[in-house]
Every structure is written in structure tokens, then in C-alpha cells.
Structure 1
Amino acid sequence: MAQKGLGAGFNTSPAADGVWINLKDAGAIAFLCYLSGAAGDTYTLQEAKTSGGTGAQNLAIVTEYHTCTGDGTDTWTRRTQAAAATVVTAAAATQNAMVVEVLNTSLSDTYKYVKLTSTGAGTVNALTHNLMTQRAAANLPAMGA
């Protein structure tokens, strides 16, 4: 039987460019990024101990990400790289949209927060999933708390 996803399967923060997101109640986070115009962008992943950025450091664990045009006309293309804290999308329409996922087990000990920051004008939507506690959307905790 189908059910609504917000609260049961995921939580989201659509304006998450450079925003610390708490992973203590989620198994993973997917960052959904978009920059139109085949401009290309660089996204940097960091981790911290608190929502204020205490102990902030680059999280060099990205080995895989996916790209597409973002308009629904094509499928996702899997891309790989050596472990890094950055993802660089090419100046090509087929890389306007980018998704990178981070498991909470990838964070360093005592670190609970992650953020992805665009160096250009790309938008970043944070979508936590594999929620530890499922609840009604109105009862979800703030993602940065």
C-alpha cells in the first residue's frame, strides 16, 4: 500500500546550499543540485560536530555521483572519481543536475552534521532518508537542529 513519503521515508530542506544538516536521525542524505545553462559548478562536502560548524572539515569520501539534464528528458549517468570532498560538474547540459549521497556511517567519530556548498550559483536540496523514526510531517525535527 502506498504512503506519503515526507516523514515516513524522507525529510528535506530545499534551500540547503551551505547549510549544516543533522544526520543523527537519518541513515543517509542525498544532495540534489541544479545549475541550468550548461555552466558547470563545483560542490564541496564538509562535516562538523555541531550546527554552528564546530570542527568543520572537508569530508573526502565522494567516489560516485550521478548527473543528468534535470528536466526529465534523460536518465541519470553514474560518474566516478577518486575519493574527494568536491564534485565538479562539467559545462554541459547533461550535467545541469547532480546527485551525491552520503551515508551517516561515512562521517568521522563525533561528527553529526554535513553540508554541501556550491561555489557557483547552483541550488542544493538536502534530502535525508532512511529515517530512524517515522512520524507525521508536522512532527519532523528541524534538519539543522
Structure 2
Amino acid sequence: MGQKALGRTLNSTPAADGVWISLRQASGVAFSCYLGGAAGDTYTLQEAKDASGTGAQNLACITEYHTNTGNGTDAWTRRTQAAAATVVTAAAATQNAMVVEVEGTSLSDGYRYVKLTSTGAGTVNALTRDLTTQRTPANLPAMGV
């Protein structure tokens, strides 16, 4: 039986709102966010040198993100913006869910950690991808260390 995606191509931190995520062993991270009720939310991206947030600063690299209702009934809508450290979803059901990807090459020199923080009650799931070392899920390193 072949190795499944967890540990081969991705790792996940389901409760990642405001949590530092290491990109030392991944090419990038996809943040999958959700806030129901057509409430809208603001998500802010930051980078740091380590898991304790040393040198934390906004990372203004977001130029593209995708939204949909989050319930599987509609396709993703691509949205673009001038490079920024924030994504603002509208108070519309078609923007309940949002995905933004951050490439490891977007980080400043010496920075290896990113976090996305909701200013509302949105949930944030971090999916690191393109893992440099493939492992079984039980042998994956913790993403926040």
C-alpha cells in the first residue's frame, strides 16, 4: 500500500489561527480559512525567525486568494489585490471560505515561520506542502517548532 498524502506531500495544523508554522521542511503553506454566516473577516499574515515570534513582522506578499461558500456547492473564485499582508473577505456567503497560499521563497532572509491570524472568529487550518522529507504521519515533526 502506498503512502497517503499526510507525510508524503503535506502536513496539517487544523487549529492554526495565530499559530507560528515552520516552513523549514516545506516549500510553502496553504491557509484554509472559514467563517460562516456571511460575516466577513480580516486575516493578517506575519513572518518570524523562530517559533516564539522573534522579529515578527507583517509579510506583504498576498496578491491572490480564492473564496467560496465552503460547503462544496460552488467552485472557487480567484480574487486578486495589490501585495498586502491582509486578506479581507466580504460579508457574503460566497466568501465564507478562503484559501491563500504562501511560498517559502516569499519570506525575508533569516525568516522561516509564518502565521495567519483572524481578527474575527474565523478558523484557520495550515497545510504545509511539498515536504522536503517524506515521513509516516507519526514521524512528522511538529509544525510549530
Q: Normalised by the size of structure 2, how large is the TM-score?
A: 0.98
Q: Give the corresponding residue for 2:140.
A: 140
Q: Give the corresponding residue for 1:30.
A: 30
What 5-or-longer segments of structure 1 have no aligned partner?
none
- What are the superposed Cα offsets for residues 98-141 of structure 1, whole Å, 9 maximum, x if unpaired? 00000000000000000000000000000000000001000000
Q: Give the corresponding residue for 1:95.
A: 95
Assess if the C-alpha contact under 8 Å between 2:3 and 2:136 holds in 1.
no
**Structure 1 stretches of at least 4 aligned residues deviating more than 4 Å after TM superposition:** none
What amino acid is the match of 1:13?
T
Matches of 1:109 and 1:86 in 2, distance apart? 21
The percent of aligned pairs where both chains have the same amino acid is: 77
Q: Give the corresponding residue for 1:50.
A: 50
What 5-or-longer segments of structure 2 have no aligned partner?
none
CA shift for structure 1 position 63: 0.1
- What are the superposed Cα offsets for residues 30-65 of structure 1, whole Å, 9 maximum, x if unpaired? 000000000000000000001000000000000000
What amino acid is the match of 1:84?
A
CA-atom RMSD, angstroms? 1.0
Q: Normalised by the size of structure 1, how large is the TM-score?
A: 0.98
Q: Give the corresponding residue for 2:116.
A: 116
CA shift for structure 1 position 2: 6.2
